Chain A
Amino acid sequence: MTDATPVSGVTPRGTKPRKRLTPTNIMLYGTLFVASVYYLLPLYVMVVTSLKGMPEIRLGNVFSPPVEVTFEPWVKAWAQACTGINCDGLSRGFWNSVQILVPSVVISIAIASINGYALSLWKFKGSEVFFTILIFGAFIPYQVMIYPIVILLRESGEVLSAITGTKIRLMGSIWGLVIVHTIFGMPILTLLFRNYFASVPEELFKAARVDGAGFWQIYFQIMLPMALPIFVVAIILQVTGIWNDFLFGVIFTKPDTYPMTVQLNNIVNSVQGVKEYNVNMAATMLTGLVPLIIYFASGKLFVRGIAAGAVKG
């Protein structure tokens, strides 16, 4: 065991001299490097392809960097690509996605945070049952519920119309989609908030109640300010989730209001003559840009948030 000590009679002193190229380190960094290639390859291919012209692509190497850099595919993807006779590219879908995104994120998080708060601090008879159903709901395949929800939205639209006297349509409108996103975002967000609020010292809550604060006062004045980090996490999760949604976007909106992912799929599948891989890749990049920016900008918060939410689960 003691053979590890000095090789050449040097008295061990100070920091143990370490070889940089130990087998362990080679393995470690080697593995990380190989993994990095796997994770980065698609991004590289996307960028490279989107900057090539079609003749170059036909030469047939997805990995070779563009000889002549052209931004035309990007321009085309953003403003000119056609679906049917509409040739305004992805730009329309981008704004639609923004319009869908903002209310969906705000409403879904508002409701879920209140749920989480009530479930962790204001338990009532049956609250756990509802929560359990909710969590089970997260596992129910969407397909099971889509059709009834279509009907539900139609009927609620009619009921609302009758009450308000004006014509309200939930199906096909942005609000219908907002409701759907709120419903399907609810399980995971509620879980996130419930776990977070459950970790708040109960004394704080008790002290506030002794001071006479009620449900909403405690929520707005004590819990909300404390929960800021988890709100950031929820926002990040929802923004990426809703931006990336395809299934609901395709079923619950119409061409006017198609979100970007749906339009991306439309553009990519609208083949006119040959497939324009460069335009497709540019469109793909454009669609992925928003969540990527959010991700890179939020960096550590994203990670910290996932940790806070998921680990306790």
Chain B
Amino acid sequence: MTNVTVKDLTLDFGAVRVLDKLNIDIQEGEFLVLLGASGCGKSTLLNCIAGLLDISDGEIHIGGRNVTWEEPSERGIGMVFQSYALYPQMSVEGNLSFGLKNARVPKPEIAKRVARAAEILQIEPLLKRKPAALSGGQRQRVAIGRALVRDVDVFLFDEPLSNLDAKLRADLRVELKLLHQKLDNTMIYVTHDQVEAMTLADRIAIMRGGVVQQIASPSEVYNHPSNKYVAGFIGSPTINFFEGSIMDSGGEFLSADMRFPLTGYEATQGALTARPAWLGIRPEAVITGTDVAQQPFTSDIIVELVEPMGSDTLIYTTLAGTAFRFRMSGKATVAAGDALTIGFDPAQGSLFDKSTENRL
């Protein structure tokens, strides 16, 4: 049973089409992340689902109910905002209970729900404080709590961790994941941070220009990006692209006189045919050292720049006339100017059509 369905959703701001015929099905209990660069329409989509924006066309169903014309509060959702949007003049308890009081929920019930939310989020000691006296992380927890007490099936998160510093963000990310496991609610989560997306999501919807590029599990998105944009957007450091063409046989990719064997590539759309294309190789796919010989593709390179990251080391070089970076173990002792032999399997990479940029 799907919990949230978006059908042909279109949104125009005047003459500008912000969202274009979007279709998304979100399963009950699923954690869906809307990922994209700023301005891609991900927050707009979330606001449409919440009912905070009037849509131009299409339908929205939540819990099997058509809620397209319903007020946000009637849709059975809870929402958490980037700026927390806590009511600054009320205590934490007041923040949590204000909406319930307004909905005339009986007092004991309010107390029960607040207590439960506070327990889940471990904010019991903070209940009497004002938001101004809380840290960023605590505020965000309260904001989540406010969604929690509403006792709804769908949670909407609008970049909830963006205002926090890196360390806190990582901690809260874990907590969010735990929370999801515990509650098993449907969650729709907007972020521009791919680490959050990868770690949290059951499925990621990558958006660009108001259109969903790919909606799939994190590993699918990572390993089989549906187009060049997704490939470039996901993964850090960024994927390497070679510009070239697939040879007649479909067994080789040629870029600047360098040949990449494609034996074993699982083509998405039938057989590979000769055409101009991009070959994308993840920096993590590169192998050095003794195992190199077994790789379908090997090459000698000169190290140009070394970036030690602790756990691993990033090497910058040039391959087939293109800037190329790959990852080595953090223990590797390499210096600029060193010669190295590297190898990888191009068939594990991704091929994109030159003109459509779609995955082949």
Q: Which residues of A contact B55 (CB under 8 A)?
A: 14-15
**Nearest CB of A to B60, in Å:** 9
B68, A12: Cβ atoms under 8 Å? yes
B71 interfacial contact with A, CB 8 Å: yes
Of all chain B residues, the one with the shortest Cβ separation from A1 is B74
**Cβ of A164 under 8 Å from chain B:** no
Q: How far is the CA of A215 from the CA of B74 in the complex (A)?
A: 59
Chain B contacts for A12, CB-based, 8 A: 59, 66-70
The answer to whether B58 touches A14 (Cβ under 8 A) is: yes
- With a cutoff of 8 Å between Cβ atoms, the chain A residues found around residue B67 in the complex are 5, 12
Q: In whole angstroms, how far apart are the Cα atoms of A14 and B10 in the complex?
A: 8
Q: What are the residues of chain B within 8 A of A1 when measuring CB–CB?
A: 74
Q: How far is the CA of A2 from the CA of B68 in the complex (A)?
A: 12
Residue numbers in A under 8 Å from B68 (CB-CB): 12-14, 16
Minimum Cβ distance to chain B for residue A83 (Å): 57
In the complex, whether B65 has a CB less than 8 A from a CB of chain A is yes
Q: Mark A1-38, 1 if CB is under 8 A from B, else 0.
A: 11011100001111111000000000000000000000
0/1 per residue, B48-74, Cβ < 8 Å to A?
000000111111000001111111001
Q: Mark B288-305, 1 if CB is under 8 A from A, else 0.
A: 000000000000000000
Query: A25 to chain B: closest CB distance in Å?
Result: 15
Residues of chain A within 8 A (CB-CB) of B59 are: 11-13
> How many residues on chain B are close to A (CB under 8 Å)?
14
**Max chain A Cβ within 10 angstroms of own Cβ: one of B66, B68, B71:** B68
In angstroms, Cα B57 to Cα A14, docked, is 4
Distance in angstroms between the alpha carbons of A26 and B172 in the assembled complex = 47
Dominant SS at the A interface?
loop
Distance of A8 from chain B, by nearest CB (Å): 13
> How many positions in chain A have a CB within 8 Å of any CB in the partner chain?
12
* Structural contact, B71 and A4, CB atoms closer than 8 A: yes
Per the bound structure, the CA–CA distance linking A245 and B223 in Å amounts to 74
B54, A11: Cβ atoms closer than 8 Å:
no
Chain A residues with Cβ under 8 A from B58's Cβ?
13-14
Contact A16 B65 (CB under 8 A): no
Task: List B contacts of A5 (CB < 8 A).
Answer: 65-67, 69-70
The one of A4, A6, A13, A16 that contacts B54, using a Cβ cutoff of 8 Å: A16
> CA–CA, A113 to B74, complex, Å?
53
**Contact call A4/B74, Cβ cutoff below 8 A:** yes
**Distance between B255 CB and nearest chain A CB, rounded to angstroms:** 46
> Chain B nearest CB: distance from A311 CB in Å?
16
- The smallest beta-carbon distance between B329 and chain A, in angstroms, is 40
Q: Bound state CA distance, A178 and B271, in angstroms?
A: 87
B residues in contact with A6, CB < 8 Å:
69
Q: Pick from A2, A11, A13, A15: contact of B70, CB below 8 A.
A: A2
B74 touches A16 (CB 8 A): no
A12–B62 alpha-carbon span in the complex (Å): 13
Do A2 and B74 have beta carbons less than 8 Å apart? yes
Are the C-beta atoms of B65 and A15 separated by less than 8 Å? no
Within 8 A of A (CB), among B18-72: 54-59, 65-71
Q: Taking the nearest CB of chain A, how far is it from the CB of B143, in angstroms?
A: 24
B231 to chain A minimum Cβ distance, whole angstroms, is: 35
Can you name the residue of chain A whose Cβ is closest to the Cβ of B10?
A: A14
Cβ of B334 to closest chain A Cβ, rounded Å: 38
> Does the CB pair B66–A15 fall under 8 Å?
no
Alpha-carbon gap, A17 to B57, bound state (A): 12
A13 proximity list for chain B (CB < 8 A): 57-59, 68
A15-B54 contact given A2-B65, A4-B69, A5-B66, CB 8 Å threshold: yes
- Specify which chain B residues have a CB less than 8 angstroms from the CB of A2 in the assembled complex: 65, 70, 74
Residue numbers in A under 8 Å from B74 (CB-CB): 1-2, 4
Which A residues lie within 8 Å of B70 (CB)?
Answer: 2, 4-5, 12
User: Hey, which chain A residues are within 8 Å of B54, CB to CB?
Assistant: 15-16
What residue in chain A is nearest B65 (Cβ atoms)? A2
Return A15 CB to nearest CB of chain B, in Å: 5
Q: How far is the CB of A79 from chain B (nearest CB, A)?
A: 51
Interface centre among B54, B56, B57, B69 (most CB of A within 10 A): B69
A216 to B205, CA, bound (A): 55
Q: How far is the CB of B21 from chain A (nearest CB, A)?
A: 12
Contact residues of A between 288 and 302, Cβ < 8 Å to B: none
The CA-CA distance from A271 to B65 in the complex, in Å, is 77
For B56, what are the chain A residues with a Cβ–Cβ distance below 8 Å? 14-15
Chain B residues with a Cβ under 8 A of chain A: 54-59, 65-71, 74
Beyond A6-B69, A11-B66, 8 extra complex contacts between A and B, CB < 8 Å: A2-B70, A4-B70, A4-B71, A4-B74, A5-B70, A11-B59, A14-B57, A14-B58
12 contacts between A and B (CB under 8 A): A2-B65, A4-B69, A5-B65, A5-B66, A5-B67, A11-B59, A12-B59, A12-B67, A12-B70, A13-B59, A14-B57, A17-B69
